[in-house]
Structure 1
Amino acid sequence: MARLGINGLKVGILAIAMLGGALAQTLTFWSWRVEDKEFYEDIARQFEAKTGIKVVYTPYKNTEYNTILASALAAGSGPDIIHTRAYGGLAQLADAGYLLPIDAKQVPGLSKFPSSLLNAARGFKDDTKKKIYGVPFATQSLGFFYNKDLLAKAGITRLPETWPDFKAALAKIKAAGIIPLANGPKDGVSLEQIFGVIGPMFYGGTDYFRELTAGQKTFVDDGFIKALEETAALKEFFPPNYAGIGYPEGRTLFTNGGAAFFVTGGFDIAYFRDNNPKLNFGFMPAPPLTRGGRTYVPTFADGNFSINAKSKNIEAALKFLSFLATPEFGQQFTEKLAQASAVPGTKAKDPVLQQIMEQTGYYGTPFLTLVGFRYAAPTGTELLRSGLQRMILGQATGRQVAEEMTKGVATWYKPFQK
């Protein structure tokens, strides 16, 4: 009887150990979102309370993340959960076999995501294009943020309703001794964003994007060229000594109340509020060419939550992605990070963010160079940014830039090779 008691005790201890091991299962999660560490650690605690699965969130500097991740994956290691970029950034990893394809059976919430967002989580090679490799985590939209107090100071009592009216307002603001636009051309990011905001009304928005990506048109198009020219022409409203103004400098200038407008995305709302709580700002899309004309808000998926194809914790990782695809997570993401979650149906408490989300629903169009042409080098983004910088310096025309973009992208984009 004593021996049986001992054996029973051993079995009990073994069972407890096995149970403890299951409860102690840990997922590793890498990201570039250093500023969101507190949020994701809270999400990890919520998930552990529901499932008993622990998640360790490790963020790296944005500028170092891609290199660190690529090195780890190439060595056959890396985290279980990977914060992946969207479109070309994800496709490079998926095409290399580093990411696990998922579907709505494994992650039920995927069935509620629109195809426009799921397309940001697909590969680029023929054998990966139809598969999904992540749960989209955020949508971003671009437009003109404006300082209400500076507009009032310049005598602008109502927002311009047409593009000619908008340029006239910029001239009036400049004449009042106020910097009209905080953006500058130093790093090219702001130029691409300005083009993304005003370009659609010249080249035709989503209709042109579809024809372009299908190879029915190229960048050598009158509307596209006009959009390039209008973007470069805004240099007269940039800050003094604008050659030294890039995205960070422009953001700081606007946040500190130094310029009337700044072209950026909803992702900067939290920055504005955290760094200048008194900033009285709003958001507006680029006004149409004519009164009552078509309005566009360029939008894109910001990235995805993906699973390492070599993870040893696939089942647990799928449970975590399923949680990240729920309205419960999406609502917290939108409220706490002041960004638009990709989970359908979320609402924002921040009035400006909610306005952006609503206008995106009405007027959304793909942010052309990111959504369609960042899959290989030279990317459409690289060619656009450098081309606009040269236009501002008087070293290239809009047609030359459009021709260079077409030729460059055609080296890897099959529809352009017809």
Structure 2
Amino acid sequence: MKRNVVILLLIALVASASVFAAGTAEQSTAAQKEKTVLEFWTWRPEDVDFYAKQIAKFEMENPDIKVVQTAYKNTEYNTILAASLSGGSGPDVFQGRAYGGLATFADSGFLEPLEQWMPELKNYSPTALLGATSPTDGKIYGSPAVSQTVFMYYNIDVYKKLGLSIPKTWNELIANFEAVSKAGYLALGNGAKDGWTLETMLGGMGPGFYGSTDFYNAVVAGTKNFQDPAFIKMIEKMKSLTKYMPNMYMGIGYDDMRSNFINEVSPHLIAGSYEAAYFRTQNPNLNFGIFAVPGEKATDPAYVSVYADMNFAMNANSKNKDAAVKFLKFLSTKEFGKAVVTEMKMVTSVPGVDASADPFIARVLELQKNATPYLFLVGFRYNQPTGSSLWQAAAQGVMAGTLTPAEAAKQIQDGIASYYKPFQK
């Protein structure tokens, strides 16, 4: 009798445990179902770990939201994103381009205007907001993320070894190239396979020769054009650098360029501020510095090109806009902005972040005292053919020897004049 009672009690306990377990499983499944899943896309696979860390912080603060990060190669990103958005799907939140790149998506109805969702955008600088605003309707379609600066990276250890100093004139820069070449190094790591890297080269070495901001303002106004003698002279200067670039430089792409510098094959690379964190990750022992490429005379300001590089945007067709706004607001906090500075080594656009504590960023900000707009990206990427696409094709022609600098300048001018009214007067 006692044995039967014990057996009945055990059966009851097992049944209760099963019911409880089933209930717990159902609750767990329900909790999972209640989570809002946000798709977040970027064009920087090298920053996946950084964003994973930031997403984890966001999810701790917002346990009802799960963020799934997808990173695409930068050269493929725009095509994949455009195809996805035009099909009515795509990510909820994503890294969006600036200036004309933003305007194209906004004018197509793919982006959600953000002022009604994020009144704090009014606190951003006018310069940062310029890259996030469509010139068509004047609405803000992105939360400004970072700005970039283009300059010369150099290997400090090689400079010390050879007794070189930061050049104050173009001739001193060429003398440094000659010195490192004689020492067995590749003087300049840049290549010309990828057209966009020649736009980077323009931004890094060109402003001091074509006239920097004065020239930019004049061509935007139409009082000067790209057949200006100073602009042609700048192209000639760029062509002269091929002597110091790798053999078969027309076959040297972006990854090869970075490898040349990271592996200390070359002590010089014209590139953007966005490279610094990647360099440190790939070679923690790489001792590098930066300087602005000088002009002809020591008294000439050494300019760097600056541009708003990235905005965080929301898909106009997102079904999770409330959750997406929470994530956008997180990406606009001072805490996130500080992490961008200290971990990614980039200049954040978030207002109120003290970036000067990081030595590299402090140096970037010092060089920005002689900043000028990144010519074609800021001024001429709003219509087709864009100034950037025209420059990239023409510059590749010059570097390959199929176009003269004057022919390249005419090709650029004619392309932009086909739609740009100030050039049609």
Shorter-chain TM-score range: 0.7 to 0.9
Aligned to 2:238: 231
The more displaced of 230-239 and 377-386 is 377-386
Distance 1:68 1:195, change over 3 A: closer
Is contact 1:269-1:353 (8 Å) kept? no
Aligned to 2:8: none
Q: Describe the superposition over 1:320-369 as per-residue Cα deviations: whole angstroms up to 9, x where unpaired.
A: 22222221110012222222222133426652233113322x12211112
Q: Describe the superposition over 1:254-287 as per-residue Cα deviations: whole angstroms up to 9, x where unpaired.
A: 1111112111111111221122222121100112
Aligned to 1:369: 376
Is contact 1:189-1:246 (8 Å) kept? no
TM-score calculated relative to the size of structure 2: 0.86
Aligned to 1:358: 366
Aligned to 2:133: 122
Aligned to 2:50: 39
Q: Of 87, 96, 109, which residue of structure 1 is paired with 2:120?
A: 109
Segments of structure 2 that go 5 or more residues without pairing to the other structure are 1-26
Matched, 1:192 2:199: yes
Matched, 1:94 2:102: no
Q: Describe the superposition over 1:234-255 as per-residue Cα deviations: whole angstroms up to 9, x where unpaired.
A: 1111123323222221210111
Is contact 2:128-2:308 (8 Å) kept? yes
Q: How much is the aligned-residue C-alpha RMSD, in angstroms?
A: 2.5
Q: Which amino acid aligns with 2:405?
A: G
Is contact 2:341-2:358 (8 Å) kept? no
Q: Of 179, 188, 195, which residue of structure 1 is paired with 2:186?
A: 179
Partners of 2:76 and 2:389 lie apart in 1 by 19
Partners of 1:243 and 1:101 lie apart in 2 by 42
Is contact 2:52-2:69 (8 Å) kept? no
Matched, 1:220 2:220: no
Percent sequence identity over aligned pairs: 40
Q: Of 283, 304, 318, which residue of structure 1 is paired with 2:325?
A: 318
Is contact 2:59-2:67 (8 Å) kept? no
Partners of 2:415 and 2:311 lie apart in 1 by 28
Larger Rg over CA atoms: 2
Aligned positions, number: 396
Matched, 1:385 2:392: yes
Aligned-pair CA distance for 1:374: 2.4
Partners of 2:376 and 2:345 lie apart in 1 by 25
Q: Which amino acid aligns with 2:207?
A: P
Is contact 2:208-2:295 (8 Å) kept? yes
Aligned-pair CA distance for 1:143: 0.7
Aligned to 1:153: 161
Aligned-pair CA distance for 1:200: 1.0
- What secondary structure, in the 3-state scheme, does the structure 1 residue paired with 2:187 have? strand
Runs of 4+ in 1 over 4 A off after TM superposition: 19-23
Is contact 1:338-1:348 (8 Å) kept? no
Q: Of 414, 417, 422, which residue of structure 2 is paired with 1:407?
A: 414
Partners of 1:20 and 1:272 lie apart in 2 by 42
Is contact 2:291-2:367 (8 Å) kept? no
Is contact 1:33-1:59 (8 Å) kept? no
Distance 1:111 1:179, change over 3 A: same
- What secondary structure, in the 3-state scheme, does the structure 1 residue paired with 2:313 have? strand
Q: Describe the superposition over 1:61-89 as per-residue Cα deviations: whole angstroms up to 9, x where unpaired.
A: 22443333222222222222122122222
Distance 1:271 1:244, change over 3 A: same
Matched, 1:81 2:93: yes
TM-score calculated relative to the size of structure 1: 0.87
Aligned to 1:268: 275
Matched, 1:294 2:297: no
Partners of 1:319 and 1:399 lie apart in 2 by 51
Distance 1:258 1:309, change over 3 A: same
Q: Which amino acid aligns with 1:57?
A: V
Is contact 1:107-1:319 (8 Å) kept? no
Aligned to 2:355: 347
Partners of 1:296 and 1:193 lie apart in 2 by 14
Is contact 2:65-2:323 (8 Å) kept? no
Partners of 2:421 and 2:324 lie apart in 1 by 35
Aligned-pair CA distance for 1:232: 0.8
The more displaced of 162-171 and 139-148 is 162-171
Is contact 1:378-1:408 (8 Å) kept? yes
Is contact 1:31-1:83 (8 Å) kept? yes
- What secondary structure, in the 3-state scheme, does the structure 2 residue paired with 1:181 have? coil
Aligned to 2:261: 254
The more displaced of 266-275 and 317-326 is 317-326
- What secondary structure, in the 3-state scheme, does the structure 1 residue paired with 2:151 have? strand
